[in-house]
Amino acid sequence: MTTVQKLATYRDLLRVPEHLVAELVRGVLHTAPRPSPRHSRAAARVLGGLDWPFDRGRDGPGGWLLLIEPELHLGADVLVPDIAGWRRERLPRLPDTAHIDVAPDWICEVLSPGTARFDRTVKLPLYAAAGVGFAWLIDPLTQTLEVYERNPHPKGSRWLLLETFGGDDQVHPPPFDALPFEMKELWAQ
């Protein structure tokens, strides 16, 4: 006897309670609890540090559209990065839909003990395959930032680890390397 498993659909994703983050990968519905305060704080600080100079163009180069927890439709997969950014020439304005089907140029995932493996082993390869150019992985517990660049490869796009930053460093991580970024702000209480 063969058991046929039904693939999850977007309709299934919409039925997930709002206190959970839901993502659809290869027909499988994945849910996770909302992030911890430490996780949320790190994500807010990243967006806060990049918003004025890169999204708004105040005291910085501008040219980016940055969003927190956007719903990305990348082919049949639905992913929700903690933060995503598009160069304005690729996404000049926000769409009228609840989701975005243009792959971002940069994503940032803040790692939690319950989601770190999923973020690294499932989501990162999907982001690379979709054409995302840069990825940041932030770990509030170890106080580290890993910066990756997509590296086209004959067997499919892969990530190249450019650098790992830690602690209270002042850094210039790509693609936002035009201005310094204060790591200590991510860990501030």
Indicate the pTM of the whole model.
0.93
Sorted by sequence, the CB contacts under 8 Å of residue 7 that are 6+ apart come out as 27, 28
**Structural domain of residue 118, as residue ranges?**
35-187
Q: Give me the CATH number covering residue 112.
A: 3.90.1570.10
Instruction: Report yes or no on 159 lying in a domain.
Output: yes
Token look-up 């680890």 returns 161
Residues constituting the chain: 189
Q: Is residue 1 part of a domain?
A: no
Residue 88, in any domain of the structure: yes
DSSP letter at 100? B
Start-to-end Cα distance in the chain? 56
Alpha-carbon span 17 to 21, nearest angstrom: 8
- Examine residue 146 and state whether it is found in any structural domain, yes or no: yes
* pLDDT tens over the chain, length 189 residues: 444 467 898 998 899 998 889 999 999 999 998 888 888 999 999 999 999 999 999 999 999 999 999 999 999 999 999 999 999 999 999 999 999 999 999 999 999 998 999 999 999 999 999 999 999 999 999 999 999 999 987 777 889 999 999 989 899 999 999 999 999 988 877
Secondary structure of residue 41 in the 3-state scheme: helix
Instruction: Assess if residue 55 is contained within a domain.
Output: yes
Q: What does the pLDDT read at residue 52?
A: 95
